[in-house]
Structure 1
Amino acid sequence: MTEIPIRCSAVSVVLLRKADIGNEVLLLRRNHTLIGEWCQIAGSIENGEKAWEAALREVREETGLICKRLYSADICEQFYEADRDAIAMLPVFVGFVDSHATVVINHEHSEFRWVSFAAALEMVPFAGQRHVLKHVETEFVRREPVRHLLIDRASPAS
């Protein structure tokens, strides 16, 4: 019997800001992998890095933004990678940024958009992304996030 390996070497971040119409989600149009698709922030965990540290770094590298608050989303994004014959499992984080912060995308993306959850659900290509977005809207927008999921950068275990 052959088993399919489960790889957990990357993170996913749903970035939110408050707007007049409610909370908006940042989506980025991919330039390299998944060319042309709209996605949330994602990236690899570097050696010696904690997953939440990778989330903050990826936000900064891909958008130039700094999270005011970062939460564990209490969910993982998962999908099958045929080229690796493996299941990828990414811990999801939710970051909140200032409403008027300026987005500066890096070379990995061709454009960005702040959109409503309804629009984001129409734009992302994968069912797993839609599942994550629905979870984030329910647990971080429609209700107050559970304080135990807040990542205290000085003491993430608290």
Structure 2
Amino acid sequence: MKHREGGPCPVLAGHQKNSGRDYTNIVYASCLNQNERAFAQAVKNTQAMYNSKVHLVRINTPMNFQPDHDVRRIMQEFARKLGLKDFTMNIYNDRSEEEGIQHFASSINADLIAMATLGRTGFAQFLVGSIAEDVVNHLSRHVLRYVTS
């Protein structure tokens, strides 16, 4: 989805209406890409609005594994460059990114999951699918999604 200036914009998706619920715990699932600056601002705005804690998480999978010490160093630099405040840094191991996000969000009783995803279309979307779509379809939590190029 694109906003008026032609760039990406965040989209809130979920199965239920918010019904006045606060987003006190926000999971920020990230591949730690510096191109997430605009999305990080949307997460920070949501955090400020609800006085939330952000739980930055990197999901380690067998096919996309990185040592904890490397991920923590990259995560600290990512958070510093994006100006994140009141956050935790988490590395969660699971069989897939979708399962890891779901299990981590459940383990901290998250109210909202924020994800920046690569915009795939056509055959690439068919082959790879969308982690964000899978998370939205399998959880009752709201997902704040941002598609990047």
- Verify same fold: TM over 0.5: no
TM-score (structure 2 length as normaliser):
0.25
Highest RCO, 1 vs 2 (Cα 8 Å, sep ≥ 6): 2
Which protein is richer in helix relative to its size?
2
Which protein is richer in strand relative to its size?
1
TM-score (structure 1 length as normaliser):
0.24
- Larger CA Rg, structure 1 vs 2: 1
